[in-house]
Amino acid sequence: MAYLELRGLEKSYVTPRGTTRVLGGVDLTLEDGDFVAIVGYSGSGKTTLVSLIAGLLRPDAGTIVLDGAPVTEPDPERGIVFQQYSLLPWMTVFENVALAVDAVNPALGRTERRRITDELIALVNLTPAAWKRPRELSGGMRQRVAVARGLATRPKLLLMDEPFSALDALTRATLQDELLRIWGERRSTVILVTNDVDEAILLADRIYPLTPGPGAVLGPAIDVGLSRPRERRHLSLSPAYQKARQGIVEFLRACRRGAA
């Protein structure tokens, strides 16, 4: 049995103007330690898919099984980094991360939980800002806090929903590099959802295109044949990079032509 298995996930939304079928039978299989990316156009149902895997939404049909257990509700074993950070504005950086650490480690003593929280904040290079509130931070710093919070529960699966799309290009590049470094240290299983093909190639082992909706499904996986650790500088010149990029872009373009 695979580590994570999605089978025939379907989800529709009922609106006053009728029913919109967002996902039309999504299948996905992941092994422990995989880093995969799901790439699709805006509005194709990426966030819906993340919400289903997180357990925040219930599918109309289909099943999700993680590590042998069916997913029916949200759980700290599935961490999420939201697109809009979703930090609690009345809490400091430390408190935002500590909320997650404390939630999953009720048996540990206060000093031990504090140590774990400090460690996570150090991991995302925010120790000097630990006592600031989110509104005092830049977008990039806020998203680092969200990453630290996502990792704080030591999740079996980390879901990232367009985590860097609200950031400017330079900050985005820095955070992508940091994510590579952090993943190198922690090796958790990650699903990164993005509309940025280059980001997907830089970070993931495998990329699934999500066809444009309605009734979106995942296209065939494209393996990123790049060795790790990866260096942004050399990446765009390598043939493997060119091949992966071409594969995804052409698939998504073909879908769009077919639909139009």
Partner 1 sequence: MTMTRATTQRILLPLVGLLAVLAVWTVISQTIARDLPSPARTWDESRRYVLEPFFKDGEMNQGIGRLAFYSLVRVGKGFLLALAIGTPLGFLLGLSRAFHLAFDPIIQFLRPISPLAWLPLGLVIFQKSEPAAIFTIAVCAMWPTVINTAAGVRSISPDHLNVGRVLKLSRWKMLVKIIVPASLPYVFTGYRLSLGLAWLVIVASEMLTGTPGVGGFLWQEYNSLVYSHILLSVVTIGAIGFALDRLMGVVEARFRSA
Work out which of 18, 68, 70, 89 binds partner 1, going by CB under 8 A. Answer: 89
Q: How far is the CB of 82 from partner 1 (least distance, A)?
A: 6
Residues 180-197, buried b or exposed e (16+ Cβ, 10 A)? bebbeeeebbbbbbbbbb
- The β-bridge partners of 19 are 14
E-only strand ranges, 82-209 = 157-161, 189-194, 206-209
Query: Does 166 contact partner 1 by CB under 8 A?
Result: no
Query: Does 121 contact partner 1 by CB under 8 A?
Result: no
Q: How far is the CB of 89 from partner 1 (least distance, A)?
A: 7
Q: How far is the CB of 86 from partner 1 (least distance, A)?
A: 4
CA 216, distance to chain mean position in Å, is 18
Query: Does 76 contact partner 1 by CB under 8 A?
Result: yes
Query: Does 35 contact partner 1 by CB under 8 A?
Result: no
Give φ, ψ of 82 to 5 degrees.
Answer: -80, 155
Judged by beta carbon, residue 53 or residue 244, the one nearer partner 1 is: 53
Judged by beta carbon, residue 36 or residue 104, the one nearer partner 1 is: 104
Work out which of 78, 156, 172, 245 binds partner 1, going by CB under 8 A. Answer: 78
Instruction: Give the whole-angstrom CA distance, residue 199 versus residue 128.
Output: 28
Work out which of 153, 176, 188, 194 binds partner 1, going by CB under 8 A. Answer: 153
Give φ, ψ of 243 to 5 degrees.
Answer: -65, -45
Q: How far is the CB of 74 from partner 1 (least distance, A)?
A: 4
* Residue from 175, 164, 178, 232 nearest 202 by CA: 232
Region binding partner 1 by CB under 8 A among candidate stretches 35-43, 85-93, 180-188, 232-240: 85-93
Instruction: Give the whole-angstrom CA distance, residue 260 versus residue 184.
Output: 41
Structure tokens at 249: 């872009």
Structure tokens at 39: 């790439």
* Residue from 23, 80, 20 nearest 48 by CA: 23
Query: Does 94 contact partner 1 by CB under 8 A?
Result: no
Query: Does 104 contact partner 1 by CB under 8 A?
Result: yes
Query: Does 7 contact partner 1 by CB under 8 A?
Result: no
Query: Does 84 contact partner 1 by CB under 8 A?
Result: yes
Residues 38-57 that bind partner 1 (CB under 8 A): 54, 56
Work out which of 69, 103, 254, 259 binds partner 1, going by CB under 8 A. Answer: 103
Query: Does 138 contact partner 1 by CB under 8 A?
Result: no
Judged by beta carbon, residue 158 or residue 202, the one nearer partner 1 is: 158
The Cα-based distances of 24 to 60, 66, 139, 249 in angstroms read: 10, 21, 34, 21
* Residue from 212, 162, 164 nearest 37 by CA: 162
Which residues are at the interface with partner 1 (CB under 8 A)? 54, 56, 74-76, 78-80, 82, 84, 86, 88-91, 99-100, 103-104, 133, 153
